[in-house]
Amino acid sequence: MQEQTATNTAELDRFIATLSLDVEALDEADRKSFDESKRALAKAMDRGQLTIDPQGRPVFKSQSGKEFTFTPPTGGTLLAMEHYKGPTEKAIAAMADMTGKHRLAFSEMLRSDLRVCETIVVLSFST
């Protein structure tokens, strides 16, 4: 189990490196949030629901078996989010843009799956 955890941590660090996030520059509150997000993603990796592809992109497999590959957010992601008011709607718009899936694909997910996807989005916007 320790070997798997070390591998998962290395894979998560590879994803975080693609974000150009300066973790050392985070203040205490942001660092705490970052660490919590990283732990949540590590748990998803332990369950076999999350992997990091060779390009450093997170690939999430929902409990229904559908795969979602997350690309880094772009200006298009921000434009997709501006059409919605609530934080959940904005997060789903970002997920849809970052994965190239229709936002209704996320309506079929269990809440626990959505939390993992939301965590990926939050980390992606932490740069």
Cβ(62)–Cβ(110) below 8 Å: yes
Residue 126 half-sphere exposure, CB side, CA atoms within 13 Å?
29
For residue 51, report the phi and psi dihedrals to the nearest 5 degrees.
Answer: -130, 165
Parse the chain into domains and list their residue ranges. 2-124
Q: Where are the beta strands (DSSP E) in 25-126?
A: 50-52, 58-61, 67-69
**Nearest-5° angle of CA 52, CA 53, CA 55?**
115
pLDDT in tens, 84-96: 999 999 999 999 9
Q: Token digits for 127?
A: 């740069």
pTM, whole model, 2 decimals? 0.89
By percentage, how much of the chain surpasses pLDDT 70? 94
User: Residue 49: what pLDDT?
Assistant: 97
Q: Token digits for 114?
A: 């959505």
| 47 pLDDT above the threshold of 80 | yes
In the block, which residue shows the tokens 């290395």? 10
Q: What residues are paired with 58 via a beta bridge?
A: 52
What is the Cα–Cα distance from 14 to 87, expressed in whole angstroms? Answer: 28
